Structure formats: structure tokens, C-alpha cells
Structure 1
Amino acid sequence: MTDQNLAKPDLRLWQIFLIFLRLGLTSFGGPVAHIGYFREEFVIRRKWFSDAAYGDLVALCQFVPGPASSQVGMGIGMSLGGFAGAFVAWLGFTMPSAIVLAGLGLGFAGGDIAATGPMIWGLKLVAVGVVAHALLGMARSLCPDIPRATMALIAAALMIAVNGIGMQVLVIAAGSVAGFLFLRGDTGKVDGNLGAGISSRGAIVALLVFGLLLIGLPILAQTAPSPWLAVFDGFYRSGALVFGGGHVVLPLLQEAVVAPGWVDADMFLAGYGATQAVPGPIFTFAAYLGAVLQNGAGGGAGALVALIAIFLPAFLLVIGLLPFWDRVRHMPKMRAGLAGINAAVVGLLASVLYDPIWTGTIHDVKDVVIAFIAFAVLQWRLMPVWALVLAGGAGGVLMGYFGFAGAVG
């Protein structure tokens, strides 16, 4: 299936916003699960993207720094509505968890996080099914032959054996090389435009702003001391220098806010625990941290500044790179390399499904059965993914009431 078989609608910005708002309210399970939710919504249900085009977008977002799943959402929004579409997609997906976490920070009370354990347990089991369903669908589309299936298996094995950002970059690069060597003339053609509405000049400006802020903010923070400038600098660098997104950003955030004494270590950990109980991107943890800052730049304004600063690098990179990536992926000679990258991405998702999703969620036979039921519900399309998420959370609470809920790790 190629993009020319699909029809993207002429959407208004509020429609894009509402679609992503619903995703932001129901997308539990972390970055890889979010990629599964996006695929279910835009590839399977609405058929606005082919698996190949979606895989190309995921491949780019896995390769550049920033929150990968949020960048995928921004890229989808951009292809549907240009620059403004990318913004409202980010706003809808991010706003629900950001508001909740900022509110918790402003109240200086995360509540009884342990009391949400059964609900989180149910949601995590649903996420296992969502990721497995997405992985199977992407594998069928992006690894349809023995060479690409082999690349995916090797990528998964390498990531499981040596997990880390360096290995992730190496695996993706190796997938590109393997594609050039072994997949020429066997990758098809992909039509369509992922970088809609963004000119080359606009893309270059975005990349220049990204680099100037990365270099200039630390200098400004040193030469013109200001708590607000220091906060913006710390959160911007955390968002700009992290590969893989998700939980990988935590060490950078801890260094940015705990080390200088802006946030107490216990308050930091309490907020991280609360982040696990809300849907949407893990980077919204920044809203909580901004609200509890003790350097004179906290409160509601601190939450907003921290949130904007940590996501701004991702936004600039998507705007700056997607138009050029869109051109590259249409070149016949580049399709082979990109096909290899997509196969490697399938392997990366498989490794994450195993560890930490499976190892951190599945603890006994009961967990296996529930996760399989969630997978089967999606596989046979018995209910939409948002309804499955709600059912998972409610089921976890119910089983917790009768003492059957498992551990939350």
C-alpha cells in the first residue's frame, strides 16, 4: 500500500486538535505504546497514511534527539495542517497530562500514588497488547520478506543484548547500510507529502534557531543571571540532548533541577511516580517540575516555561528536518536505505516490547492472559483502542477491589 491509495482529508485545525486531544486523554503506556496508538488511529482506522509513510516518519523521529512519540505526533499534524497543524497536534496530545501534573505540583501534593496502582496495572497490561498489535502490523508491512525480517531480528537481538542510545543509533545506521546493499529494486515507491506547508527556507530557519538556542542559552544564562532564563536553558538542553525520549530524559532532568537544589529529590521522585499514572508524553513531567521549582521561577508560570522549553527542540527539529526527509524518502536510490531503516525500527520496537514493557509488566499467568485478551481485541477489532484503554483502567480498579490486581513496577 502506498500513499497514492490513501486520501488525506482537508481538516480544520480544531479537528486535528480534537483528534490528538482524545489521544492525549487515552494514550497510556509510554512512547512505544503511543506509536502504536498513532498507527491504530491514522493508518488502520482513518487510513490517512500508509504503513510505509508512517514507518518513514517513525524512523526519522527515532534517529533525532527529542521525545520520539511526540515528534511523530507533530509530524502527523504537520502533514495534515502544516506548521499550525503540528502545533495543535502537540497541544492536544500534551495538554491533558501537563495540566494534571502542573496541578499536582501547584498543590505540592501528589496524592496517594500507591492507591492508583491497580488502575495503572490494568493500563500497562493493555499497553502490552497495543504495542504487540502495532508491532505485528508494522512487521507485516515493513518486513514482508526474509532479508528485512532478518534485519529486524538482528536489530532486536542487538538491542536486547546491549541496550543503550549508542546501540540504537548504530542499529539504525546499520539498517540503512544493509538496505543499500541488499534491498535495491525491492522497496516500492512511496507518494505523499509528510512535510506539508513548510518551505526549505522555513526548515533551515528552524534548524538555525535550534542550534542558536542550544549554544546561546547557556551563555546568556551565565552573562545575564535570571532564574527564568536558567530554567529555560536547563529544560531546553534536556529536551535537545536526549536520544530515545521517554524515561531517558530523567537523568538530564535530575541534573538540571535536583543538582542545583531547585527541586528536592523526594519531590522529584514523587512527581515521576505521578507521571506514570497519566496518559500522554513523559516529557510533561517538566510541567510538574516547573511548578515545584524553588529558585524563584516556580508556580504556574514555571510550569508553562518548563513545558515549552523541553518541547521546543523537538518542534524545531521536526519543522527543520521533515521537509528534507520527505524529499529524501521519495528518491528511488534512497528507498532501499530507508527500507532497511524501517526494518531496524521494527526490531527496535520488538526489543522495547520485550524490555522494559514485557519484563516490567508481565509477572504471572494472569498478566499474560489479560495482555493477550487486549491484543486479541485489537487484532479482531472488537472495540476501538480508546475504549480498550478505559476498560483496562476500570478492570484494574475492579480487580484491585477484589484483591486480584498484580504488581506495578
Structure 2
Amino acid sequence: MPTSKLNPSTGISAGQASPAGSPLEVLRIFLKLGLTCFGGPIAHIGYFRDEFVVRRKWIDEHAYADLVALCQFLPGPASSQVGFSIGLTRAGYPGALAAWTGFTLPSAAILVLFAYGAGALGGPVGAGLLHGLKLTAVAIVAQAVWGMARNLCPDRERASIAVVAALIILFSTASIAQIGAIVLGGLAGLWLCRSDAQASSGHVEMPVSRTAGFVTLGIFFVLLAGLPALQALTGSTGIALFDAFYRSGALVFGGGHVVLPLLREAFVTPGWLTDDAFLAGYGAAQAVPGPLFTFAAYLGAVVSPEPHGVAGAVLGLVGIFLPGILVLLGALPFWDSFRKRAGAQAMMRGVNAAVVGVLGAALYNPVWTTTVHSPRDFGIALVGFVLLVAWRAPPLVVVAFSAAAGTAMALI
């Protein structure tokens, strides 16, 4: 297997010509994550941190937090963008595609089966199993908040930034509150976090040239403006569907759940499917692992205009994920030179602290409030947290325990 020199300050491989891993390795690991990552984008960030920062050490804590902060700024599904970037640094463009495929395919396949009527679990046993799987997310997110807070909020200034960011999220109902909290965290970092600035001797090597970055940003805007015009000229229902998915994915800021009202407006309002069918698919999307954006596979399979079925599911997946990937590729070539500046380092300390606050707020709402309803639920989540933090058990063990405990509780 080819090797490359690892930058000790970032934990990310430096050297385009000699990637640290293979696409097959990346596919295998992300396929496992795609089968076990329950709980939505915030939980996924916790799973990724445990897998790539703690266990495999492909990337260090600060570089990972910087990457999460970047993806939180950009439109699109943050957890999928983080996974795509990790695959890119590990094995180049084939590794990025392998990461996206492995993480996306399991939940997309399950939701397509659900669209054909072969999906949902019923009865108390099924409900208990699904609830136990959701309790896994409580333990995963709590572990992520605990670990990131210890590393990224070691002083009173950054701890205060994290608390303020959490309060902004908890007391605001605006969809842009998350972005606002991160922006304010960066500004506070410029003011409060300059004293411990350090020179950055290394860099985060991304196999994306600046020319490629400009090209992908150009493609993003051309598709955003050109697809509606092309559909008006051709009258193609396929282009109309692709535009609906693409526009929804391009305008999402603040997490995967924000895409749902956009998709409802794009598909229910014109009469392409009923509200009941939309909500049924949304419920199924909550119960499967992997990114919430795979809800597009269900929508593409059940919409009334053609193409639908498997072809529509593929169209939906490509359409909804493509804008976030294009924007990410456009930003990555400029991210390294930005983050090496002293002022940028201070700002990123504030941003990283704000990300901890955002994760902490998300641990309460929606993860805790929608999942922990009784002392039994709290007990299952607590055991999962101890397994992860104290016993350093793999997430798959916690998934299995929570699923079994949730099923048992439903039968008592």
C-alpha cells in the first residue's frame, strides 16, 4: 500500500502523489459507518470523530474541528461533506467517491425498499428496536461533546464562547441561528483567543487545485441558475425533478433537517406526491442509519412524474448531494492558506469552541428531547455513554446494546 508523510500538526496526509490509503479501504470503513451511524448529522460527526480521530488517527482533533467548522459554514449535508473530505485526504478523488458511496448507499437502499412497501417495522417490538437505535445517538453525541469540549474549550474564554453559542441555538428558532453562532464565535475568537496563537508549520493537503476549485464553484452557480431555464425551454419532467432536488440541496444551511420544508415545498405543493406519503418517508428516514439527505432516494422513487422508481431515486441522490460537494470542492483549496494565518488561527479557536456549543445544544434539542422520555431511556443512553467513554467500546457494540435494550423495554 502506498504511504505518505503525515503532518504531525494536522494529522492529515500531505503529498498528492502518494495517498495514505486506498479507495477500497475507505469504502469498507464508510460502508460500516453507513450501516451503523444512527441519529442524524450531529451524531454522525460524533461517529466520525470516534472512528477517524480517536481510533484510526487519520486526522487530529483540531484539524477535524476545523473541517467540521468549514462544512457547517457551507450549504449541504455537513456530515456527508466531512466524510467526503476525509475520503479525499485519505485516497484522493476515488477515496472521496468511495466515502460518499459507502456512507450513503445503505440508507438509500433501505428507503427505496420502503418506497416499494418492503420497509417499515410494526408492532411494539419494531417500535422498541427503532427507539433503542435512536438512543444510541444520545450516547454518541454526548461522547462527542465531552471529548471535543476537553480538547477545544480548555480555558474560560473558549468555554464562554461555547456556552454563548449553545444559548443562541437553544433560544432561537431561526434556521440561520447555527451559522450566526459560528460567525459570532469566530469574531469572539479574534478578540479573545490571540494570546496563545502558534505558528503553523504544516498544511492540510487536499488534492484539489485552485483552478479546480474555481471550476466547481462555477458549475455550482451555472446549475443553480441554468436548470430552471433549461426546464422552461425543454419542458422535461426529469430536469424539473433534478432542479427540485438540486435547489433544495443548494439552499440548506444549518443541518439536514432544514431540507425537509424545502423538499415539501418542492414536491408536495406541485402535487407530485401526497402529504401523507411525504411524512411516511420522513418517518422512515428518521429510523435508518446514514445521512438524512437519502430521503431524496425515497422521494425520487415515489414521485408521480417520470422518472421514478430506481431511476428517480438515483436522480434524487445525485441532485441533492451534488451542490454541497461542488461548494466543498470550491472551498477546500483555499482553506489551508486561510487557516495558517495568525488571525485565522485565533478565529478558528473561537469557531471550534462555538461548534462545541452547537453540538451541546443539539445534544439537548433535538437529540435528547425527541429520544429520552423516561428513566429507562436515560439508563440505556447512560450505559451507552459509559461503554464509549470508559470502556472505549466500538460504536457497533453500543448500537447492538441499545437496540437490544430498546426491544426488551418494549416487551416489559
**Interval of TM-score (by shorter of Structure 1 and Structure 2):** over 0.9
**Secondary structure of the equivalent of 2:379?**
helix
Contact 1:176–1:340, Cα closer than 8 Å, also in 2 = yes
Aligned to 2:346: 336
Aligned to 2:131: 121
Aligned to 1:32: 42
* 1:64 partnered with 2:74: yes
Contact 1:83–1:319, Cα closer than 8 Å, also in 2 = no
C-alpha distance after superposition, 1:168-192 (max 9, x if no partner): 2221111111111111131445565
Unpaired segments ≥5 residues, structure 2:
1-6, 14-18
Contact 2:22–2:90, Cα closer than 8 Å, also in 1 = no
Q: What letter corresponds to residue 80 of structure 2 in structure 1?
A: S
Distance 2:232 2:396 in 1: 47
Distance 1:250 1:177 in 2: 31
Distance 2:176 2:11 in 1: 36
Distance 2:294 2:388 in 1: 28
Distance 1:190 1:134 in 2: 26
Of 374, 384, 393, which residue of structure 2 is paired with 1:374?
384
**Secondary structure of the equivalent of 2:9?**
helix
1:305-320 superposed matches below 5 A: 305-320=315-330
Distance 2:33 2:169 in 1: 29
1:350-365 superposed matches below 5 A: 350-365=360-375
C-alpha distance after superposition, 1:237-262 (max 9, x if no partner): 01000112321111111111111111
Q: What letter corresponds to residue 145 of structure 2 in structure 1?
A: L
Runs of 4+ in 1 over 6 A off after TM superposition: none
1:193-342 superposed matches below 5 A: 193-342=203-352
Distance 1:282 1:275 in 2: 6
Of 96, 104, 112, which residue of structure 2 is paired with 1:94?
104
* 1:154 partnered with 2:159: no
* 1:23 partnered with 2:33: yes
Distance 1:164 1:124 in 2: 25
Deviation at 1:6, TM superposition (A): 4.1
Q: What letter corresponds to residue 229 of structure 2 in structure 1?
A: I
1:168-183 superposed matches below 5 A: 168-183=178-193
CA RMSD of aligned residues (A): 1.7
Distance 2:317 2:357 in 1: 31
Inter-CA distance 119–193: structure 2 relative to 1 (3 Å threshold): farther
Deviation at 1:308, TM superposition (A): 0.6
Distance 2:23 2:239 in 1: 32
Deviation at 1:372, TM superposition (A): 1.1
**Secondary structure of the equivalent of 2:381?**
helix
Inter-CA distance 80–191: structure 2 relative to 1 (3 Å threshold): farther
Percent pairwise identity: 49
Distance 2:282 2:119 in 1: 10
Deviation at 1:326, TM superposition (A): 2.1
Contact 1:194–1:322, Cα closer than 8 Å, also in 2 = no
Inter-CA distance 265–192: structure 2 relative to 1 (3 Å threshold): farther
Contact 2:10–2:59, Cα closer than 8 Å, also in 1 = no
Contact 1:271–1:285, Cα closer than 8 Å, also in 2 = yes
C-alpha distance after superposition, 1:79-110 (max 9, x if no partner): 112222211111100000001111221x2454
Contact 1:286–1:303, Cα closer than 8 Å, also in 2 = yes
Aligned residue pair count: 400
**Secondary structure of the equivalent of 1:159?**
helix
Aligned to 2:16: none
C-alpha distance after superposition, 1:323-368 (max 9, x if no partner): 2112211222210011111111111111111111111111122222
C-alpha distance after superposition, 1:188-213 (max 9, x if no partner): 45565545211111111111101111
Aligned to 2:9: 4
